[in-house]
Amino acid sequence: MDVMGDKATLLETGRFVQSSDRDEVGEAAEELRLRLAAEAGDVEAMSVLGALLLRRGDLDGAEPQLRAATSAGDRAAANNLGVLLHQRGYADDAAGWWRIAAVAGSAAAAHALGRHHRERGDEPAAEYWLRQSAEQGHALGAYALADLLEHRGDGGAEQWMRSAAERGHREAAYRLARALDRRGAGETDGDNGVADGSEAASPAVEEAEQWYRQAAARGHRRAALHLGAILERRGELKEAGRWYLTSAKDGEARAACALGFLLRDAGDTESAAVWWLRAAQEGDGNAANALGALHAERGETQTAERWYRAAMDAGDVNGAYNLGLLCAEQGRTAQAEQWYRRAAYAGHREAANALAILLLQGGDTAGAEPWFSKAAEAGSVDAAFNLGILFAGRGEDGVALRWYEQAAAAGHTEAALQVGIARLRDGDEGGAERHLRCAAGGGSAEAAYRLATVLDARRPPASAHELGESVHEKSECEEWYERAAGQGHRRAQVRVGMLAAARGDVVEAARWYREAAEAGSRNGAFNLGLLLAREGSEPEAAVWWTRAADAGHGRAALRLALVYARRGELAEGQRWADRAVALGPGEVAERAARLRDALREELSA
């Protein structure tokens, strides 16, 4: 029960004398004046003197003054007498005096009486008196009524919460903001987390921000936390940091943790660690995980493990998952499995996926599958993709495709590639293109190359009879080839080289052929050899053809056979002709066989 239950009423009427700005002499003089007036029978002086003594904690001195004023019909004194008796433990007696004051029109007494009835489980009576208080404009009464109605699930709660907030009640402003935030952002995590919100804030979220501001400005630390989160999502990081700092200094661990992440993203890791430490010491598991990750990055594995354990002890399942990752990196497979299992059983989907991978690597396919399934069903995109791989490896392409599609729909690049390949295989070029574009846009070089080949096949053939010099305009398929080539895709590099050669850009063609060849492409090496031979550099061409032939390129072997035959090195020519026959393809093997026979006859002549 609030001390000085009728304090607001006294302040509003000017009857409650504040002493915060007075010196001791002035206060003593005022008290003496009140005592003299009270002794002279001034009821108002008795009431104010009793209130002053009650606020000071002098219950024995306050009680006779308040009783005397109450007997004379002063409702403020009746309310404060109820407060005094409540402090002494006489709740029923206090309620009697509050009733007298409330009937006489004291909103503060009606609020106190309503709270008294609610504490005793008499909700109808509580609602009656709280409503009396709220309807008189009493902020505490409006808040208590809203709290009671909200507890019942009554839709009228928001009206009174808003009324209390508008009268400056900071907890009401905060709770109203939370309700609006949940309504606007679809959040259901109660007061245990920061609202996630959407990029385009709804009117409800915008209004919530204003109430958060009002509550935060009045020192509500959780309101400051949520206000900081809204501002951070909006990109207003400086102001977000200020509110996080305000909340963190008031002891809000989540704000200290959030401030740490802001500082880390700004490059100030040392300051981030200070706030994470503060939050972790106050039991914030997320901050403990952040500290663990920081020490793990520095190679301080023992300290990292200690903080991960602290996170786990704080109830953050990420602590167990991170311990599993740490053990796996150190090759402590058994311990990694133990921590992954602990996190997975607690519902951590990525831990379930990691556990399944660990089991699969150990050859336990049967044990891995259910964990992949559990993770995928919980929304793990990687697990859905891994299930696709698992079923594809068993030859169950239909089941594999369904999992690939699920992962692709969630934005998994490699899964989109696999769906695209499957669509191509089934002749669905439109579906293939759609998925290949997604995968290529996500950075897959293979998808970019395959998309380019689809587009390339649609290009009309170039006119064989063009007058004048043609102006080359890069097509979309060339752009995708180049993107794949730039990412190191060897076949794309060869194709870009071929397109450059076709338009007469020998230097560009040679650059791409060489890059592909040096990365191990036999076609790149063969084409580079052709380009060099045309430019009169047959010895260097032979070097690249040798590399290509050694990698199994039949045409390169035939070219080498011809080179050595022209040089008169018939035995070497015959050796390469034999190699070309073995490598093929059919047309090459046929030509190489004729050359080999001719060289054999020449050698035996």
Taking residues 164-170, what's their average pLDDT? 95
Q: Residue 604 has what pLDDT? A: 75
Place 471 in a pLDDT band, splitting at 50, 70 and 90.
very low
Neighbours of 42 (CB within 10 A): 16
pLDDT at 209 over 90: yes
What is the domain extent for residue 571? 552-604
Is residue 14 situated within a structural domain?
Answer: no
Q: Which two tokens stand for residue 239?
A: 């102001």
Rounded distance, CA 596 to CA 564, Å?
A: 12
Q: Residue 472 has what pLDDT? A: 54
pLDDT at 97 over 90: yes
DSSP annotation string for 47-109: HHHHHHHHHHT-HHHHHHHHHHHHHTT-HHHHHHHHHHHHHTT-HHHHHHHHHHHHHTT-HHH
Place 240 in a pLDDT band, splitting at 50, 70 and 90.
very high
Is residue 404 situated within a structural domain?
Answer: no
Taking residues 117-134, what's their average pLDDT? 95
Q: Residue 468 has what pLDDT? A: 43
**pTM for the structure as a whole:** 0.71
Taking residues 427-454, what's their average pLDDT? 95
Taking residues 103-107, what's their average pLDDT? 92
Type of residue found at 521: S
Q: Which two tokens stand for residue 291?
A: 């500290």
Phi and psi angles of residue 568, each rounded to the nearest 5 degrees, phi first: 90, 5
pLDDT at 461 over 90: no
pLDDT at 469 over 60: no
Q: Residue 195 has what pLDDT? A: 46
pLDDT at 19 over 70: no
Find the angle CA(228)-CA(230)-CA(233) to the nearest 5 degrees.
105
Taking residues 199-209, what's their average pLDDT? 81
Place 109 in a pLDDT band, splitting at 50, 70 and 90.
very high
In the chain, how many domains are there? 1
Q: Residue 27 has what pLDDT? A: 81
pLDDT at 541 over 70: yes
Is residue 575 situated within a structural domain?
Answer: yes
Q: Which two tokens stand for residue 590?
A: 């046929």
Q: Residue 599 has what pLDDT? A: 86
Q: Residue 458 has what pLDDT? A: 85
Is residue 561 situated within a structural domain?
Answer: yes
How many distinct helices (H) and strands (E) make up the chain?
Answer: 35, 0
Place 173 in a pLDDT band, splitting at 50, 70 and 90.
very high
Place 367 in a pLDDT band, splitting at 50, 70 and 90.
very high
Residue 236 contacts by C-beta under 8 Å, 6 or more apart in sequence? none
109-118, 199-208, 464-473: segment of lowest average pLDDT: 464-473
**Terminal-to-terminal C-alpha distance of the chain:** 121
Is residue 485 situated within a structural domain?
Answer: no
Q: Residue 200 has what pLDDT? A: 57
If you average pLDDT over every residue of the chain, what do you get?
A: 89
Place 196 in a pLDDT band, splitting at 50, 70 and 90.
very low
Stronger pLDDT, 451 or 460, i.e. the higher one: 451
Share of the chain above pLDDT 90, in %: 81
Rounded distance, CA 582 to CA 34, Å?
A: 119
Q: Residue 605 has what pLDDT? A: 57
Place 120 in a pLDDT band, splitting at 50, 70 and 90.
very high
Give yes or no for a contact between 287 and 260, defined as CB atoms under 8 angstroms apart.
Answer: yes
Place 28 in a pLDDT band, splitting at 50, 70 and 90.
confident
Is residue 476 situated within a structural domain?
Answer: no
Share of the chain above pLDDT 70, in %: 91
Is residue 593 situated within a structural domain?
Answer: yes
247-273 residue pLDDT tens: 999 999 999 999 999 999 999 999 999
Q: Residue 601 has what pLDDT? A: 84
512-522 residue pLDDT tens: 999 999 999 99
Taking residues 448-452, what's their average pLDDT? 95
42-63 residue pLDDT tens: 999 999 999 999 999 999 999 9
Place 473 in a pLDDT band, splitting at 50, 70 and 90.
low
Taking residues 497-518, what's their average pLDDT? 93
pLDDT at 6 over 70: no
Is residue 562 situated within a structural domain?
Answer: yes
